[in-house]
Structure 1
Amino acid sequence: MQAENIPKALQTFYDKYQHGEPSERGLLESIQALLIGPHTYIIIDALDECPNTEEERAGLCNILKELNSWGNERLHVLVTSRKVADLTEALLPIVTQEPIGIQGSVVDTDIRKYVRTQLQTNSKLSKWPTKIQAEIEQTLVKKSGGMFRWVVCQFHSLSKCLSQKDVRNALSSLPRTLDETYERILVNIPIDYQSKALTALRWIIYAVKELSLVQVSDAIIINPQADPPFSLADQPPEPLWILETLPGLVTI
């Protein structure tokens, strides 16, 4: 999108909060400012993945309720989510259109296709006997809860299994949620790599523009407080270590 096509209110909002997080009131005021123009569309994807706390998920639901209370026909809000009790209770009273349900069987079919493709193309998993591959497929589809991202993240740990017993142990101890999955990824970072891995994540999160693997690998050796501020001796020889150390958190 060209800068001249960005609404002034949105540009002002970005300039004000690009280095921080807006308050609930600040967010609502910015949305109100956008409504002086033509139709405004807000899309919130995977609301159920927002932490279920009063400050996080409940706070966002309160914002949606206030947006609905404005009764502005130029404001359109689309929310996607798995069907969970607290969100259904909070949002169903304010829904103005008939909710569109995506049947779990349809999602499961797509996930199953993805899993089968991975089992055929992954150089390590494709070597397992058909029976083990079938167990992997059935378990991932059953435990996914319709979350593609969760399934994607499980393949790294399964690819590291050295025996059929290892595979079955991994399948029996899969993390239940995405949050647990990400937590396990961080916990499993080797001690010698933890400092570099967390520094890499900070660079990726706070970068003004998208960084390449080489740029991230170069950036992690910078220490403004040191003299000299960097040493090539600290630089990993191969930037792919980032993908191997942070599977599921960093992709290219």
Structure 2
Amino acid sequence: MIVENVQSKGPIGLAYYYFDILDVKKRTVEGLLSSLALRLYTCNPSNHTAVDQLYRNCKDGVDKPSGQQLEDLLKQLISGFKETYIVIDALDECKELQELLKLLKRIHGWQIGQCHLLVTSRKEQVIVKSLEHVAPKEIDLSLMPVEVDNDIKKYIDEVLEESEGLNSLDSELKKEIKELLKAKANGMFRWVACQIDALECCANSPAALKGTLEMLPEDLETTYDQILGRIHQTNQMRAVKLLYWLVFAIEPLDIEELAIVVQIDVEKNGLDVKEKLGSPTDILKICSSLVALSEDGTVKLAHASVKEYFLKEPRKIGTRTI
């Protein structure tokens, strides 16, 4: 909505970037700079002098531009507009957070033209403290419940329409689902997404759907408790292994690598072939709603709150603990 509003103002510089937890390439400062520069260039292709110069400096595209070169390019592109709007979403998902915060301070210090910078993030102290002297205005969405609730209602309507299983339900049951989700969301998009996942799993059984609706959890922690409780006994040990590796992984893990993880037998110091998955994508079924597959083939925890949930205290999956 913000981007659409800015676009309606006419020929100005506009660049948007989202630090996507599911795409490691989109969680770096270099990825941010490259994307912002490209988007600003496409807003005004006639302003190509700086881009052409960088291309030549990089041996006609043979060499990769450095971070400083990309930063200099961004500055020059912004200077080419009377007014520029930059929106950066989910700062807290950047894996180079300190470097990113320093960059934002430098951009603020450029003071060139009318450059408007909007950033969004969860309210983490390191971010709040770093930007307190940079951001002239802070908007706390938790203090805007009406606006957030309206967005959640729109999200629920759209997702239910797109869901093949839930969209085919009779109108009264769909109405009940919408009303319950809207009433209990309490400002949490993530909570809604998890409940819809659970409802889709039993969309072919009205009785099971009713039961799931009657037991909607009050918060994310209880939601994750329920998800763990639904893991079938035959997959509980697999889930423990997978989630343990994902919670504590330093680098993203390929789905093929994780498929081998479930076969690891520590006691025998080898692989248990009986634990081999029919397909690596079975991982997504075993840990439904807790993990997600990225475009680059790596598997990650589906949301930052999932990692927080497991790090907060030991969790039970059947008789096993992670």
- TM-score, with length taken from structure 2: 0.49
Q: Does 1:76 align with 2:131?
A: yes
Which residue is 1:240 aligned to? 281
Q: Match for 2:122 among 31, 34, 45?
A: 45
Q: Match for 1:166 among 202, 208, 224?
A: 208
Q: Match for 2:156 among 106, 109, 115?
A: 115
Q: Match for 2:189 among 145, 148, 154?
A: 148
Greater relative contact order (CA < 8 Å, ≥ 6 in sequence): 2
Q: Report which of the two has the higher share of strand.
A: 2
1:24-72: CA deviation from partner (whole Å, max 9, x where unpaired): xxxxxxx9xxx9999499986156xxxxxxxxxxxx7xx99xx97xxxx
Distance 2:123 2:165 in 1: 31
Alignment of 1:59-138 (within 5 A): 75-77=130-132, 100-102=139-141, 103-138=144-179
- Give the CA deviation at 1:147: 0.4
Distance 2:156 2:291 in 1: 20
Distance 1:239 1:202 in 2: 17
Which residue is 1:182 aligned to? 224
Distance 1:131 1:153 in 2: 22
The 1:77–1:246 alpha-carbon spacing in structure 2 relative to 1, beyond 3 Å, is farther
Which residue is 1:210 aligned to? 252
Which residue is 2:76 aligned to? none
Distance 1:120 1:182 in 2: 25
* Structure 2 residue matching 1:124: 3-state secondary structure: helix
* 8 Å contact from structure 2 (residues 246, 253) kept in 1: yes
* 8 Å contact from structure 2 (residues 239, 286) kept in 1: yes
- Give the CA deviation at 1:5: 6.5
- TM-score, with length taken from structure 1: 0.61
Distance 1:218 1:193 in 2: 14
1:205-229: CA deviation from partner (whole Å, max 9, x where unpaired): 22232123222112221235415x1
- Give the CA deviation at 1:237: 0.9
The amino acid across from 2:175 in the alignment is A
1:49-105: CA deviation from partner (whole Å, max 9, x where unpaired): xxxxxxxxxxx7xx99xx97xxxxxx4249xxxxxxxxxxxxxxxxx9776354322
CA RMSD of aligned residues (A): 3.5
- Give the CA deviation at 1:163: 3.3
The 1:211–1:172 alpha-carbon spacing in structure 2 relative to 1, beyond 3 Å, is same
Aligned length: 185
* 8 Å contact from structure 2 (residues 265, 272) kept in 1: no
Which residue is 1:200 aligned to? 242
Unaligned runs of 5+ in 1: 7-30, 48-59, 69-74, 79-95
Which residue is 1:249 aligned to? 290
The 1:111–1:174 alpha-carbon spacing in structure 2 relative to 1, beyond 3 Å, is same
Identity %: 25
* 8 Å contact from structure 1 (residues 153, 247) kept in 2: no
